[in-house]
Amino acid sequence: MKSLSFFCAVVTLAALAAATISCRAASYLPADQALAESRANYAEVDSVRIVIDVPRGGLFPEPLQAEVAFAEGRLAYSRYTWPDATSRITEVLFLPPDLYVRTPEGSWYVQSPWNQGVRPEELRSISFDDPPNFEELVESIGDLERAGEDVIDGKAYARFEGTGPDADAMEGETVTFWLDEETMLPRQVQAAQEGQSLTVQFLDYNTAVAVPAVPSPVQPLRDLEFPQAACIGDEFKSCLRAQTELQSVATDSCSGVERRVCIVPVGMIDVSVVQHLIEHLNSNYGLQVQVLTPLEVPEDIVNDMRGQIDANALTDFMGTRFPAVFSDPNAVMIGLTPLDLYDATSHFRYLFGLKGDAAYPKAVLSTVRMNPTFYSEPPDQNLYQERVTKLLSKYIGLLYYDLPSSDDPASLMFNNILGPDDLDRMQGTLPVATR
């Protein structure tokens, strides 16, 4: 069974996002006087319902619709649904203190109370009972410019536009929000970045909250079984070890002077995936892939709190183990790991991989989030291998063949991969002549 921390993370992330955005909306006012009035009026709000529409990519691998309501300074309920979900969970409903989850078959399961059995360290910064702290957050937000007036649901609202503040998860985003000129309360916020957008609506101020009915019938959450995903949670540390089954085909050098591909197994990578990749590159492009000695991941580059490894640190680690290969501009060196990656310099929660370019042909690629079991789906080895193969092929296109990236979602060189469904849409082979 998947641990409760999965559900806690999902509910917490959406709830905190709602609280953060609702608090920020009124903060983007152009004058101190207006800002003070907005802050004071928001503090007097007795209840509000917040509706959130998150597209695929960014925070979530699938589109998310969320609804969060506060009344008398406390959370009344929160509901999160995945309308196009293919996973084992399509809805999460939090009715304090109980957490309900629904499967695609319509069966409901409950954890009562929601945090029963969760370790204290997993509750870091989590609180469902506190309302948005508007005054605290508004002080850190910069001003926006008045951009006009729009009508929403038959009423005119002042429109403000700007970008997210520095040193924040919204950095670089274009932010537009609409403010009630009479009450100074936010009505709608939209944040957009690189073709992705997020919309938040603020509804039913100071109106009695209609709390959803308790689902029935329900079963204990402990009875909900999930496929087990490897190398996450309690299994993370066990996957740091080197994959010894590849020792017989591995070498400490990637011989040759010409352009060549050197694969570095890092951690307990699936042997069948590595074999499939080698065969695919050979049969489709005539590439003779060399496998370097499998590496064990050192503990000092592991982020225990995140259960992830910084992709830049992992790339540097490969360089320390194979300095001659790493410094060779003709050696396309790609690390394959089953461990989850992130970039400490980015606000994104995870990376499928991190790559250089033809002048710096080094990369690392994580397979964990390409496995359907990561999303509580039934095991599918063919789909898993196809996804890994597509991303590796893209890296080969960039690093080995120096191909340009593409805006076409069906191309293997698609430049905006945000989730496994993007990989599933990519088709074909690289546009190169085989030899």
pLDDT tens per residue across span 44-93:
889 999 898 877 654 455 677 889 999 987 889 999 888 765 567 889 99
Tell which of 160, 195, 223 closes a domain.
Answer: 223
pLDDT for 20 beyond 50: no
What residues does 23 pair with on adjacent strands? none
Tell whether 242 and 321 lie within a shared domain: yes
Query: Is the confidence at residue 171, as pLDDT, over 60?
Result: no
Whether residues 214 and 251 share a domain: the answer is no
Q: Which of 223, 248, 266 is the last residue of a domain?
A: 223
List all residues 6 or more positions away from 105 whose beta carbon is below 8 Å from its beta carbon. none
Based on the fold, state whether residues 298 and 367 are members of the same structural domain. yes
**Angle between the 381-399 and 271-285 helix axes, to the nearest 10 degrees?**
50
Do 106 and 22 fall within a single domain? yes
Strand partners, 414: 406
Domain stop point among 223, 246, 264: 223
Domain count, the chain: 2
Residues 87 and 65 grouped into a single domain: yes
When pLDDT is cut at 50, 70 and 90, the band that residue 303 belongs to is very high
Residues 187 and 303 occupy one common structural domain: no
Q: What is the pLDDT of residue 139?
A: 55
Hey, what are 435's tokens? 């030899």
Q: Is 232 left (phi over 0), alpha (psi -120 to 50) or beta?
A: beta
| Residue 3, pLDDT score | 39
Say if 376 falls within a structural domain.
yes
Domain CATH number, residue 405: 3.40.390.10
Measuring CA to CA, how many Å separate 311 from each of 296, 358, 406? 15, 19, 24
Closest by CA to 353, choosing from 409, 309, 304, is 309
Q: 101 with 244, same domain?
A: no
Is residue 141, in this structure, part of any structural domain at all? yes
* % of the chain with per-residue pLDDT over 70: 79
Is 428's pLDDT higher than 60?
Answer: yes
Domain annotation covers residue 288? yes
Q: Identify the pLDDT of residue 34.
A: 62
Residues 254 and 325 in one domain: yes
Helix residue ranges per DSSP H, 238-380:
271-285, 311-321, 323-327
CATH of the domain at 213: 2.50.20.20
**Number of neighbouring beta carbons within 10 Å of residue 91:** 19
pLDDT at 127: 47
Q: Is 435 contained in some domain?
A: no
Residue 58 maps to a domain: yes
What is the domain extent for residue 115?
A: 4-223
Q: Indicate whether 431 belongs to any domain.
A: no
Q: CA angle at residue 275 from 273 to 278, to 5 degrees?
A: 110
- In this structure, the answer to whether residues 104 and 122 fall within a common structural domain is yes
Residues 96 and 124 in one domain: yes
Residue 175 falls within a domain, yes or no?
yes
Residue 5 has pLDDT above 60, yes or no: no
**Pair 65, 194 in one domain:** yes
In this structure, are 217 and 258 located in the same domain? no
User: Percentage of the chain surpassing pLDDT 90?
Assistant: 50
Amino acid at the residue 34: A
**Residue 228 included in any domain:** no
Q: Report yes or no: 338 and 231 within 8 Å, Cβ to Cβ.
A: yes
If one compares 385 and 131, the residue with the highest pLDDT of the two is 385
Q: Sign of the CA dihedral 266, 271, 273, 275? A: positive
